Amino acid sequence: MFLRIGRSSRAVLLCRCSAASGLCVPKATRNVNLTAPKRRELSYHPNEVFLFRTCSTSQAKLNCWNCKHLLDNVPAFFCNSCKVIQPPEEGASYFKILDCDYTFSLDTQKLQKRYLELQRSLHPDNYSQRSVREREFSESQSALVNRAYRTLLKPLSRGLYMLQLEGMHLEEGTDSAADPAFLMQLMEINEAVDEAKTPEEAEKIGRDTRGKLTDLTEQIDAALHRGELHAAKALLVQMKYYTNIEEKVKEKLSEFM
């Protein structure tokens, strides 16, 4: 048996064979209250291997901290039985948290709707009269949902996050990854924004940039679908530059007002 520490003080026993494949289908689940010393003691037990959040959380079953009822969904925000708020499932992907398809071209209207629904039910203001534990869970759940929403809303951060989920990391500062000819072209567009004399000139650059961003979105989506992570990364670097130009155009337009 594998033991997976699902949440801070509880553990779930998992089947060895399925855990090896990364899909934790529990053979048996039970609540175990693990204090720190107990956890250490367990982790030294020679006949058991302990996995700390290394498995996919999508399949692991957890129990409600309040009534012990088995939670139906992962991540579960509330218990279906007693309706009490649950602790955040930090390992869950932002796509799961916001119940979105795992795709770069996700439906941002659906994303926003789900975000607003969750924030309404998780907001700390709703828990001011509840126990300390519930207040803490509401604060951490609410913060997690905010983080997930901010990351998935913008294509650039969404794409970078998807690469991260696929095991690829973009270093701080991605300049080295950009092609010199591309950088030269971007420099020219930047200059054109600086030198724009009328709102129409700036708007034209803004339109071209948005068109370019739309093309890039399609190309990145296709690259991710094909599993071409390096190509997707290179396109995301381009997207980063065009996003900066889009911001610059907005600033320029505000100067004309």
Residue among 84 and 192 whose Cβ is closer to Zn ion: 84
Q: Identify whether the C-beta of residue 22 lies closer than 8 Å to the C-beta of residue 15.
A: no
Question: Smallest gap, in angstroms, from Cβ of residue 143 to Zn ion?
Answer: 22
The window from 61-69, 86-94, 106-114, 176-184 that contacts Zn ion (CB under 5 A) reads: 61-69
Strand 10-14 to strand 49-51: parallel, antiparallel, or no bridges (unpaired)? Answer: unpaired
Termini Cα distance of the chain: 67
5 is an interface residue for Zn ion by CB under 5 A: no
Which 8-state DSSP code applies to residue 23? B
Residue (79 or 193) nearer to Zn ion, CB: 79
106 binds Zn ion (CB under 5 A): no
Supply the minimum distance, in Å, between the C-beta of residue 141 and Zn ion: 15
- As measured in angstroms, the least distance from the Cβ of 63 to Zn ion is 8
Report yes or no: 181 and 240 within 8 Å, Cβ to Cβ.
Answer: no
64 binds Zn ion per the rule CB under 5 A:
yes
**Tokens of residue 66, six digits:** 């309040």
What is the C-alpha separation between 176 and 178, in angstroms, rounded?
6
Q: Which residues inside 67-86 make contact with Zn ion, applying CB under 5 A? A: 67, 69, 79, 81-82
Q: Please tell me whether residue 66 binds Zn ion under the rule CB under 5 A.
A: yes
E strands of 16-133, at which residues?
49-51
User: How many chain residues bind Zn ion (CB under 5 A)?
Assistant: 7
CB-facing half-sphere around the CA of 123: CA atoms within 13 A: 8
Applying CB under 5 A, which residues contact Zn ion?
64, 66-67, 69, 79, 81-82
